[in-house]
Structure 1
């Protein structure tokens, strides 16, 4: 089995275990044995992979795109996972976007303050700042979309 196939099988196993084997059986309609074959590294199962509809259903249940992330990495692509988990899923407004923008900017400034306290920004601190900047950017995109909706 090639390195790519082994990599996909490991991520498939992580996906099934993230959901739980019993729950994964319920979500996909597959048996434990069938799911096990999808991530088995034995030679007789080396050509068996989970169908994409089952992957999609499990990733939705898991809340993280384990296999999709692995596929992207193998092809040189990048998947950006939106970790925002709003408590209120109703459609926002420009007013709520302004509040979210203010909060997100405050979080970015807090992260910056903590990062620059010793006079230099480490790699890990830069990664945290980049993450906060990306989340701030997403709030701005949401705000832009809401403004466009309201101007129609």
Structure 2
């Protein structure tokens, strides 16, 4: 997968995380304009979401999809600032349970996807959603561990 394609996939995930209608309201952009930012059509190859639009959408999203993708491309690991994190801490023990549950859900999606010997685009998208959810749990767990370590 090319860098451009990777960024477009994460841009699409960001818009869908927020919701297309909400994304339009937040950014003042039309559905068509937002769609062009993650379109894989040749005519939109060089079109990417402006950084201010990314920032506005990520502020409303559950996960910083584009920022995470950019970090991944550079080999950087992200860490949330616990003072700015909105969610209430559940503690490490509950994080471990959530981690096990999310991993089980990912494995279930994988098992279903591979059962016919081929992973379709939709199956891949479902596994990606579970992977992102698993990543969120890991980030929350990291925050809780850092807090306990002082």
Q: Bin the TM-score by the shorter chain.
A: 0.5 to 0.7
Aligned-pair RMSD on alpha carbons? Answer: 3.3
CA distance in 2, matches of 1:18, 1:30: 16
- Counterpart in the other structure of 1:3: 2
Runs (4+) of structure 1 exceeding 6 A deviation are: 127-131
Number of residues paired by the alignment? Answer: 110
SS in 2 for 1:136: helix
SS in 1 for 2:15: helix
Residues 1-150 of structure 1 aligned to structure 2 (within 5 Å): 3-81=2-80, 85-86=87-88, 104=91, 107=93, 132=141, 134-141=143-150
CA distance in 2, matches of 1:133, 1:50: 30
Instruction: After superposition, give the CA deviation of every residue in 1:5-57 in whole Å (9 maximum; x if it has no partner).
Output: 00000000010011111110000110111000000001110000000111011
TM-score by length of 2: 0.61
Instruction: After superposition, give the CA deviation of every residue in 1:76-112 in whole Å (9 maximum; x if it has no partner).
Output: 11112466612xxxxxxxxxxxxx8xx847x28x95x
- Pair 1:139–1:54, CA change in 2 (3 A): farther
TM-score by length of 1: 0.60
Rg: which structure is higher? 1
Unmatched 5+ stretches in structure 2: 101-134
